[in-house]
Amino acid sequence: MMNKNKILEAAQQANDDEGKRYTILASQNIIFGFYSLGLLFILTIRLLRHESLNDVLFLFLLGGLGIEISQAINKRSVVSILMSLLLIVAVVYTAWLIALGK
């Protein structure tokens, strides 16, 4: 009888953890969606005004770098690691252009 209660408690805890995980993932998806809409809006305005897109490009590259690093950690594939390195170079270069005011 004691083991049955412990098993039920463990199952309930696992179910609660899965619910919390789903809530966090759903929130992250909503936040990512709104950031993407904001970037798209800024990109459109900058294009219409013929202004520099370096800061918008920097934010896109930084977001891509975060996703690619996550993939590299989870999959440990050579392609993900190489893409992460390429994106690091692109992010640093774009940040340098922004710092120089170009």
Cα–Cα distance measured from residue 89 to residue 83, given in angstroms and rounded to the nearest whole number: 10
55-62: long-range contacts, CB 8 A cutoff, minimum separation 24: 55/98, 57/94, 58/91, 58/94, 58/95, 58/98, 61/87, 61/90, 61/91, 61/94, 62/91
- Domain locations in the chain as residue ranges: 1-51, 52-102
| pLDDT tens track, the chain, 102 positions | 557 777 767 767 767 777 777 777 778 888 888 888 888 899 899 899 998 888 888 988 998 898 899 888 888 889 888 999 999 999 999 999 999 987
- Residue 95's pLDDT is 93
pTM of the predicted structure, to 2 decimals: 0.63
Of 71, 73, 68, whose CA–CA distance to 88 is shortest?
A: 68
| Chain-centroid distance, C-alpha 18 | 21
